[in-house]
Amino acid sequence: MPVAIITGASKGLGRALAGALAARGWDLVLDARSAGPLEEAARAVAAQAVAARGGRVVALPGDVADAGHRAELVATARRLGGVDLVVSNASALGAEPLVRLAELPLEGLRRALEVNVVAALGLVQEALAPLRESAAGAVIAVSSDAAAEAYGTWGGYGASKAALDQLAAVLGVEEPGLRVWAVDPGDMATDLYAAAVPDDGDPRPAPADVVPAFLRLLDERPASGRYAAPSLVAGR
**CATH number of domain containing 102:** 3.40.50.720
Q: What does the pLDDT look like over 175-233, one tens digit per residue?
A: 999 999 999 999 898 888 889 888 877 788 899 999 999 999 999 999 999 999 988 98
What is the per-residue pLDDT for 163? Answer: 98
Instruction: Count up the domains in the chain and report the number.
Output: 1
What is the per-residue pLDDT for 68? Answer: 98
What is the per-residue pLDDT for 236? Answer: 67
Q: What does the pLDDT look like over 63-89, one tens digit per residue?
A: 999 999 999 999 999 999 999 999 999
Cβ contacts of residue 14 below 8 Å, gap of 6+?
6, 7, 8, 30, 32, 87, 89, 90
Quick one: average pLDDT of 1-25?
Answer: 96
Q: Produce one character per residue of 107-131: b if its CB has 16 or more CB atoms within 10 Å, e if not.
A: ebbebbbbbbbbbbbbbbebbbebb
The boundaries of the domain holding residue 124 are 3-233
Catalytic residues: 144, 157, 161
Strand partners, 180: 139
